[in-house]
C-alpha cells in the first residue's frame, strides 16, 4: 500500500499541503499539525481495522477534515467544509454548503484490483479534485479498474456533468480539477434524466436511473447507461432502468446498455457495444472501426464501416426467443453463435444466408444481412448445424462443438467450409472452394481444396 503524500503526486504543494504521515490522533483536539488545502485540520480521522469503515461526520459548521492512508468514509455535514481523503479508496461526502473535496491517491495492490475514490459533492457550489494517481494506467493483467468517480447518485433531481468544461449543475454549480493525461476519471449519474459528458481522459461513466444522454469523448471510455456504483458494498446496482442514449465518441470504447430501450453508438475507434439480456428495443451502432457487438433478444445491431463481429448468444436448451437483427456493413463482417451449456441439450442451428435468417431449435433466432463469416461454437451436445451460403464468397466454421453434425452448402462464391468432429457433409457448390472436414467420417462434394474428407462423392 502506498503512502506517498498527495501534494507530491500532484505537484501542487503551493495549493495543497498535507503532512507526509498521520499523527494517529482521532479527535478534533488532537488535529494540530495536519493541514488540508493549506488549512489547519479541525478533525483527523482515526485509523481503524474495523470493516466496513465507520463514518467520520463533521459538524454543522466549517470543518477541515484529514483522512488516513487507508480507506476512509467522511461526511462533511453542514457548513463550507474542506476534506482531504489522502491514500486509499475513500468515500467523501460534502453535504450542504460550498465544500472543497480532495480524493488523493487511490488503493492498488497487484492481483487485487484497483480501487479509486468516490466523491459526492452534495448541495452547494463545490470544488472536486479526484486526485492524480497514475497507477490506474499500469494495471496487472486480470485486475479490474474502479476509477475515481464524482457521484450524484443521491441527487434530488437531474444533473448535467461535463468533464470537458469541468463543471456540473443540478445540486448547485460544481467545478472540477483537470484530470491529468493518462488518468481515468468517472461519473455516476442521478436517478433522473441526466446529461453526462466525458473529458479528454479515459472515462468511466454510469448513468444510473432515468433517461440519460451519455457521451464519452476522445478517450478509451467505459460507458454504461444504467449501472450505479455502490462504494460501500463495492458492487453495482443493476436494478435502475432507463431509456438511454450512450455515445462512445473517438477512441476504443466499451458502450453498454441497461434494462431500457437504449440507443448505443460506438462512433470512432474499435468499440465493444453490449446490450443487456432484457434490453428489448435497444439499437446498437458501430462506426468506422472494427467493432464487436454482444447482442440480445429484441435488439438491432448495425456494424457500419470496418470488419465487425456480432456475438449471438444461444440460451440453455430452448427454442429461439424473440428474434434480433444484425446488419453488417461495408467491411467483412462475422457472426458468431455461441453456446456453452454443454450436457445433453440438443443443438439445432440453421443458417440461411439467402433467406437472411438464422433458426435455433426450429424457431427464428435472428435476421442477418451483409455478413460474410459465420461461426458456431461452444456446445458438446448432440444436434444438427446447417449452413446455406449465397452467391458471394463466405466462410463457415464450427469451433468447439463436439457432437453436432454439419451439413454445409457453399452456394456460388469462393467459399471456405470448416466442420467439426462428427460425420459431416460439406458441399462447396460453384466457385473455387476450400473444404476442411476436420475429424469424423465426412463427405465432401464440389470442393477444389480438400482436407479430412473420407468420402469425395
User: What does the pLDDT look like over 355-364, one tens digit per residue?
Assistant: 999 999 888 9
* Better-predicted residue by pLDDT, 140 or 367: 367
pLDDT at 4 over 90: no
Domain carrying residue 382:
307-457
Q: What is the pLDDT of residue 137?
A: 66
pLDDT at 5 over 60: no
Q: How far is CA 116 from the centre of its chain?
A: 16
166-180, 312-326, 443-457: which range is least confident on average? 312-326
Residue 318 belongs to some domain of the structure:
yes
Residue 435 belongs to some domain of the structure:
yes
Residue 134 belongs to some domain of the structure:
no
Alpha carbons 49 and 185: distance in angstroms, whole number: 28
Q: What is the pLDDT of residue 311?
A: 96
Q: How many domains does the chain have?
A: 1
pLDDT grade for 10, boundaries at 50, 70 and 90 = very low
Residue 120 belongs to some domain of the structure:
no
pLDDT at 109 over 80: no
Percent of the chain with pLDDT over 90: 66
Exposed / middle / buried, residue 332 (Cβ in 10 Å: 0-12, 13-18, 19+): middle
Q: What is the pLDDT of residue 111?
A: 78
45-49, 143-147, 429-433: which range is least confident on average? 143-147
Residue 436 belongs to some domain of the structure:
yes
pLDDT grade for 14, boundaries at 50, 70 and 90 = very low
Q: What is the pLDDT of residue 379?
A: 78
Q: What is the pLDDT of residue 40?
A: 96
Total Cβ atoms within 10 A of residue 336: 20
Question: Per residue in 363-404, pLDDT tens?
Answer: 899 999 999 999 999 877 889 999 999 999 999 999 988 889
Q: What is the mean pLDDT of residues 29-51?
A: 86
Grid-cell match 464487436, residue found: 292
Exposed / middle / buried, residue 111 (Cβ in 10 Å: 0-12, 13-18, 19+): exposed
Q: What is the pLDDT of residue 244?
A: 96
Q: What is the pLDDT of residue 242?
A: 87
CA atoms within 13 A on the CB side of 303: 28
pLDDT grade for 24, boundaries at 50, 70 and 90 = very low
Amino acid at each position: 500500500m502506498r503512502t506517498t503524500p498527495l501534494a507530491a503526486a500532484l505537484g501542487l504543494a503551493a495549493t495543497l499541503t498535507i503532512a507526509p504521515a498521520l499523527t494517529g490522533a482521532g479527535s478534533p483536539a488532537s488535529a494540530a499539525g495536519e493541514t488540508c488545502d493549506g488549512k489547519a485540520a479541525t478533525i483527523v480521522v482515526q485509523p481503524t481495522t474495523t470493516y466496513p469503515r465507520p463514518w467520520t461526520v463533521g459538524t454543522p459548521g466549517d470543518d477541515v477534515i484529514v483522512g488516513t492512508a487507508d480507506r476512509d468514509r467522511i461526511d462533511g455535514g453542514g457548513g463550507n467544509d474542506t476534506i482531504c481523503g489522502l491514500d486509499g479508496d475513500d468515500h467523501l461526502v460534502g453535504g450542504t454548503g460550498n465544500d472543497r473535496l480532495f480524493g488523493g491517491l487511490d488503493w492498488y495492490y497487484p492481483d487485487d484490483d484497483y480501487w479509486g475514490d468516490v466523491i459526492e459533492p452534495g448541495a452547494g457550489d463545490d470544488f472536486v479534485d479526484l486526485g492524480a494517481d497514475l497507477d490506474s494506467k499500469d494495471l496487472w493483467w486480470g485486475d479490474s479498474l474502479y476509477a475515481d468517480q464524482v457521484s450524484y447518485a443521491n441527487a434530488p433531481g437531474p444533473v448535467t456533468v461535463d468533464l470537458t468544461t469541468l463543471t456540473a449543475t443540478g445540486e448547485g454549480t460544481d467545478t472540477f480539477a483537470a484530470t491529468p493525461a493518462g488518468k481515468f476519471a468517472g461519473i455516476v449519474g442521478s436517478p433522473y434524466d441526466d446529461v453526462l459528458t466525458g473529458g479528454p481522459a479515459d472515462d468511466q461513466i454510469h448513468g444510473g436511473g432515468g433517461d440519460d444522454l451519455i457521451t464519452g469523448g476522445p478517450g478509451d471510455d467505459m460507458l454504461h447507461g444504467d449501472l450505479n456504483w455502490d462504494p460501500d458494498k463495492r458492487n453495482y446496482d443493476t436494478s435502475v432502468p432507463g431509456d438511454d442514449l450512450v455515445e462512445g465518441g473517438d477512441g476504443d470504447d466499451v458502450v453498454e446498455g441497461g434494462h431500457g430501450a437504449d440507443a448505443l453508438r460506438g462512433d470512432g475507434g474499435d468499440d465493444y457495444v453490449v446490450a443487456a439480456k432484457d434490453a428489448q428495443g435497444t439499437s446498437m451502432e458501430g462506426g468506422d472501426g472494427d467493432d464487436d457487438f454482444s447482442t440480445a433478444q429484441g435488439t438491432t445491431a448495425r456494424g457500419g464501416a470496418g470488419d465487425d463481429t456480432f456475438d449471438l448468444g444461444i440460451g440453455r436448451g430452448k427454442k429461439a426467443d424473440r428474434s434480433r437483427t444484425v446488419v453488417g456493413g461495408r467491411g467483412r463482417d462475422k457472426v458468431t453463435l455461441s453456446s456453452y451449456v454443454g450436457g445433453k441439450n440438443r443443438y439445432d442451428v440453421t443458417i440461411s444466408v439467402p433467406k437472411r435468417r438464422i433458426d435455433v431449435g426450429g424457431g427464428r433466432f435472428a435476421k442477418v444481412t451483409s455478413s460474410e463469416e459465420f461461426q458456431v461454437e461452444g456446445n458438446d451436445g448432440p444436434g444438427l448445424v446447417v449452413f446455406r451460403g449465397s452467391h458471394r464468397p463466405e466462410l463457415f466454421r464450427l469451433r468447439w462443438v463436439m457432437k453436432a453434425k454439419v451439413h454445409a452448402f457453399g452456394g456460388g462464391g469462393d467459399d471456405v467450409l470448416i466442420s467439426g468432429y462428427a460425420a459431416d457433409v460439406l458441399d462447396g457448390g460453384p466457385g473455387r472452394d476450400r473444404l476442411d472436414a476436420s475429424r469424423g467420417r465426412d463427405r465432401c462434394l464440389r470442393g477444389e481444396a480438400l482436407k479430412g474428407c473420407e468420402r469425395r462423392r
